[in-house]
């Protein structure tokens, strides 16, 4: 083994638990090779079948992967720990977090009075006022809103939808590159990820066709401002994907429209296409505040009923204090103006950096939102090189499964005047070793 950690246990469950402890404590780092089955069996005095069963359970839960002759190794993002970003070094400009500019976030004003209630809100989990605003919000984009419900954020909702619909070992199609927390969540639920290629218009139809034919049970995707590339569905691309999905009506389609604004342009979505099994999740954390752990969900009758049935047995409802706060923000004209100003600024800042990079011959992904994806050959070289110039960007490894390498730059707080300096520094970093890596 490439580590001094000693795996223990005399049963398959005990061996698997020992490996999990090693991964959780950091003694078994991502990529660490586990002992071959027969060798570990001899060391522990158990049968090879016992070790094989333990390794199978670890694979099912996403802690390890098998690489043919390369043996069994700890997964790059084991399901016991999310791909948390490294701490931003002191003194650097943080362009790695994916967060909005606080200047365009409103001050949160919870209701002044919160009267006590008898019992719980399980019988009436949603405030009527917010439910009606939510129906209008979805309806603006043509998303059917006859059935809506609430959850504690997008990932909370996606996890619940997948866990009530799928069983351990089922496959889920995900965007590649894609949202790193989702890439961690799927294996943590005991499910298998099937990467689907993304280009400037979103999911590539041929890649989705391959995944559907391979038997995926669900698809999780983003209609606009895809993280990390900024891809957005075009009407033509949306229609191609809908035509494919209608051939597989049993597949659950979950759209995460995480950057949808209170006001703004209509976006083509799969949720508006009349699929048999679908849900669209919308959140406000990127536009109204990261502490607003509230999500709205629209979907088909079966999907919404299953979601609510599971939620009833767990948290029960989203805090009515939080719901009252969201109602106030949705209804405030000043907040709407602030959000609109943010939308305009984010578009300008993203475009400014993209144009500045292009002036140095550095291509980047077209799209929307406030992240810019820049393909590079050596992620570490670019991240470390920009660090010496005072910038901190995100290496693409956290966002990729099989996609080519790149770096993600969050442009939300990068004013256009700084974009030129960053582009010049980026070009200098590439020029240091252009024969080895580049944009």
Average pLDDT over residues 248-264: 86
Mean pLDDT of the chain: 91
Query: What pLDDT score was predicted for residue 68?
Result: 72
Residue 192, beta-bridge partner list: 171
Task: Give the pLDDT band (50/70/90) at residue 437.
Answer: very low
pLDDT tier, 117 (very low <50, low <70, confident <90, very high otherwise)? confident
Mean predicted confidence (pLDDT) in 373-383? 94
pLDDT the model gives residue 435: 43
Dihedral of alpha carbons 430, 435, 436, 438, sign: positive
pLDDT tens string 151-164: 999 999 999 999 99
What six digits make up the tokens of 177? 């590159």
The Cα 281–Cα 254 span in angstroms is 7
Average pLDDT of the residues in 288-309:
95
pLDDT in tens, 15-45: 999 998 898 888 898 889 999 999 999 999 9
Question: Do 202 and 235 touch, CB atoms closer than 8 A?
Answer: no
C-beta separation of 352 from 413 below 8 A? no
Residue 418: the pLDDT is 96
User: Residue 412's pLDDT is what?
Assistant: 95
| CB-count exposure of residue 356 (10 Å: 0-12, 13-18, 19+) | buried
Q: What is the pLDDT of residue 250?
A: 96
pLDDT in the model for residue 78: 63
pLDDT higher than threshold 90 for residue 101: yes
pLDDT of residue 1: 38
Q: Is 200 a residue whose pLDDT tops 50?
A: yes
Joined together, the tokens standing for residue 290 give 């990261």
The pLDDT of residue 260:
80
pLDDT bucket at 262, cuts 50 / 70 / 90: low
Strand partners, 193: 172
pLDDT at position 227 over 70 = yes
């Amino acid at each position: 083994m490439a580590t001094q950690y000693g795996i223990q246990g005399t049963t398959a469950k005990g061996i698997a638990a020992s490996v999990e402890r090693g991964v959780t404590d950091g003694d078994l780092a991502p990529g660490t090779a586990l002992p071959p089955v027969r060798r570990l069996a001899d060391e522990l005095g158990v049968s090879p079948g016992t070790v094989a069963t333990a390794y199978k359970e670890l694979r099912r839960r996403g802690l390890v992967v098998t690489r043919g002759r390369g043996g069994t190794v700890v997964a790059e993002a084991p399901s016991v720990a999310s791909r948390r970003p490294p701490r931003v070094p002191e003194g650097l400009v943080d362009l790695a977090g994916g967060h909005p500019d606080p200047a365009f976030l409103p001050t949160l004003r919870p209701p002044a009075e919160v009267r006590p209630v008898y019992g719980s809100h399980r019988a009436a989990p949603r405030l009527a006022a917010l439910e009606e605003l939510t129906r209008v919000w979805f309806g603006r984009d043509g998303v059917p809103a006859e059935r809506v419900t609430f959850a504690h954020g997008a990932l909370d909702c996606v996890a619940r939808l997948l866990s009530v619909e799928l069983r351990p070992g089922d496959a889920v199609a995900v965007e590649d590159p894609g949202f790193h927390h989702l890439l961690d969540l799927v294996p943590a639920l005991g499910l298998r990820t099937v990467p689907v290629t993304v280009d400037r218009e979103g999911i590539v139809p041929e890649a989705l066709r391959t995944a559907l034919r391979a038997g995926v049970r669900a698809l999780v995707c983003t209609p606009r401002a895809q993280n990390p590339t900024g891809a957005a569905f075009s009407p033509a691309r949306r229609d191609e994907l809908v035509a494919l999905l209608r051939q597989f009506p049993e597949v659950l389609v979950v759209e995460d429209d995480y950057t949808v604004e209170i006001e703004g342009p209509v976006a083509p979505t799969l949720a508006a296409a009349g699929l048999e099994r679908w849900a669209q999740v919308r959140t406000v954390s990127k536009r109204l505040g990261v502490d607003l752990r509230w999500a709205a969900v629209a979907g088909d009758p079966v999907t919404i009923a299953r979601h609510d049935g599971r939620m009833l047995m767990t948290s029960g409802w989203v805090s009515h204090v939080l719901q009252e706060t969201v109602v106030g923000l949705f209804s405030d004209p000043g907040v709407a103006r602030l959000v609109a100003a943010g939308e305009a600024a984010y578009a300008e800042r993203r475009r400014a950096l993209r144009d500045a990079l292009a002036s140095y011959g550095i291509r980047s992904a077209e799209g929307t939102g406030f992240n810019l994806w820049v393909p590079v050959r050596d992620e570490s070289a670019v991240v470390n090189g920009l660090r010496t110039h005072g910038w901190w960007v995100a290496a693409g490894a956290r966002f990729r499964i099989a996609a080519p390498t790149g770096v993600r730059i969050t442009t939300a707080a990068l004013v256009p005047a700084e974009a030129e300096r960053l582009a010049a520094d980026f070009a200098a970093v590439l020029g240091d070793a252009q024969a080895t890596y580049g944009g």
